[in-house]
Structure 1
Amino acid sequence: MKIAVIGGGAAGMMAVATIKEKNPATEVFLIEKNHDLGAKVMLTGGGRCNVTTGIFDVEEVLKKYPRGAKFLKHAMYSFSPKDLCAWFENHGLQLKIQGDLRVFPVSDNGQDVVRVFVDIFAKTAVKILLNNAVMKIEKEENNFFVQMSDSEVLEVNKIILTTGGQAYRETGSTGDGYTFAKNLGHTITKLAPSLSALMIKEEFIQHLSGVSLEKVSLRVNADKIYKFTGPIMFTHFGLSGPAIFAMSALIALIDFSAKSPINLFIDLISDFEQSKFLELLNQKIIQEGKKRVVNIIDQFLPKSLAVKILENLNINLDKKFCELSKKEINKIVENLKNLPLTVIGRRAGEEFVTAGGIDLKEVNPQTMESKICPGLYFAGEILDIDGFTGGFNLQSAWSTGRLAGKSADC
């Protein structure tokens, strides 16, 4: 049996390791166009490699995928985050779970994750072809012919395609796999950047660069209402942070631009119901009414943000709080609960993953094998699966890579 795994990222490396665990005699070619394996793996988590999530309840994990959760279910139950952690530790990599439930190597070094696979491949005689791009894949009868950039043609029995999406293009994720899949009969769904920062039209945002909030609630009204709660950070171009990345994933397939923007509403005080917060401010009129307005509002928000909101409402910062009209107080409450912003784009080139990919209707979720082209398997980001930040995209790559490797070697 000869198997070619095309793409040396998380899914590809796990597929190869799985094949060799199952049957060391299987001849495996791991083809990677970069000069190193796992380039994107080493970049995640700021170079520390957010290996997976510390959420071990699979049903809860599956809720973290805006697209592909149902398809992913079998693969995830077959090789869950808990299974993955045990697998790495059995191979000598010590892991730690942070307070935010992200899992990292104890060393905080992403290279150590890749080294686990490099060691496995060295011991099991995997044929690693680096700096070698695949130019074309053809199928004749029961075999595949893989034309390489060095003019060599490999003849193999099966192929596992793990070339990733289009994000992190500097790591080689340029979408080549979509072309190979299309040429073998597959459909590619709409592709879009996901987990990206958002560009905001309102100029006052620029003056808040570096300000962060630990918990806000976001809402976008588009084809339907999208909501997410979590931390955000203001930047010189707009908004970033975990909740923004999650919202960008939810709205990844929605088209918007400066000419056709969408509206984002931020609840800056999400721990308060609007009526309760209004009651609280009315109490403060009695208790702290002689204080400046800004000194009341900055009890709930960073001062620079409080200043900008009051300026936008044309409320004098130095005005005594007790001098505010009922209308002015209502305006403040409304803005703190529903700060309206205009989203004019995604931060180009900074997305972490690609939404969209191989149409899941054309792939068997029990095996990862193509329903159209027998002997062809898929794993990782090339599939129409994407998750939130926090190790979920790597976990789907490990899980689908594991299942593809097990299924192909039979």
Structure 2
Amino acid sequence: MPAPTPALSRPDYRLPKSSEAFARAAKVIPGGVNSPARAFGAVGGEPPFMARAEGAYLHDIDGHKYIDYIGSWGPMIVGHAHPRVRAAVSDALVLGSSFGAPTVREAEIAEVVAAAVPSIAMARFVSSGTEATMSAIRVARGVTGRDKIVKMAGCYHGHADCLLIQAGSAATTLGTPNSPGVTAGAAADTLLCPFNDAEAVRRILEANPGRVAAVLLEPIAGNMGLVPPRPGYLETLRELTAKHETLLIFDEVMTGFRVAYGGAQERYGVTPDVTALGKIIGGGLPAAAYGASSEIMHRVSPTGPIYQAGTLSGNPLAMAAGLATLELLREPGLYDRLEALSARLAEGLEKAARDAGVPHVVQRVGSMLTLFFHDGPVHDYEDAKRSDTALFARFFWEMLARGVYLPCSQFEAAFVSAAHTEADVDHTVAAARESLAAVVG
């Protein structure tokens, strides 16, 4: 596909068809969207409605073309509508979209996941990241016989009741970190710590001896913007949880197969007890999984007493898309290329912001990154909340008008795909220069 052609000088950017579609949707869908992350609540205005996607690009119904750094919020690591993924789904669809019975492809992709992810010997597939983390917690409670979990403020793990406690991501955007409908009982069993603060975890475990089933976290936070773990943080959590016989759960819904083929646990050399996966393993279709050692996973029904089920779990179309995507990720040099492209983008954005004289920091791990309008490193949720969100909103719209589709919140990570080119990155950096000049000039 040819390089993108949107002009860098600000075009007459209008969305009349999208505005009409949004008004229509708002009559029958809460807020006009099926996920709050799409609502543009943090940046104002109305979202463009998309017509199609291919490679690194999105096309909206108003005729605009964008370089896409959302990638369906992470899954599209090989790009949109990759020919091999498309063919795999098409071939699977000919045979039937759902059987309510086992298929060989479920075992095939489970074998690939178990071979790739250090903590996983067995995996159970589900249909969403929320299901994966919710099920991982249930397993931890069932295995340990304990009720309480520890989570990190600003880490988002889906919308299960016990996890909507100081949530990040779209819940931060909406200013509702504690959702109505979450019971006091669910909240009472969730203990909060700041991300990157191992001593806080130590204090909580010591104050609740024999009562904490699991410590749950994104090993690289992506739902308060991209926040890497401090050196030694994950290692200390591994030591603390082992000492207290508490399970360590990594939510690698974003980072799994993203920051390395084996996820953050491969990149940092720290192996949790249980891992939740999603996004990439479905290749753009709804699929997720949780996994652990055989000993732990044999406690899950039907071989054990811990119940979990799902009618569409292991859906043939999602398994086909996921398996094709994971096969593509094994191509030699793919992660090296992602690393180089992402570094080029991060360095370009950092220089553009520095030259514009705005407070900023660019944080990146692999092909995930965030440009924070914040004067110094962001280590936790409290740091992230001090970012200039009003400046980000103006920057976002300037970038969108120049054909660059960024996450619509300061508190989200951007994703680079293997379909992006150096020309895409250079266009993005040039657009950032013009956009920053427009918002601070």
TM-score relative to the length of structure 2: 0.23
TM-score by length of 1: 0.24
Rg: which structure is higher? 1
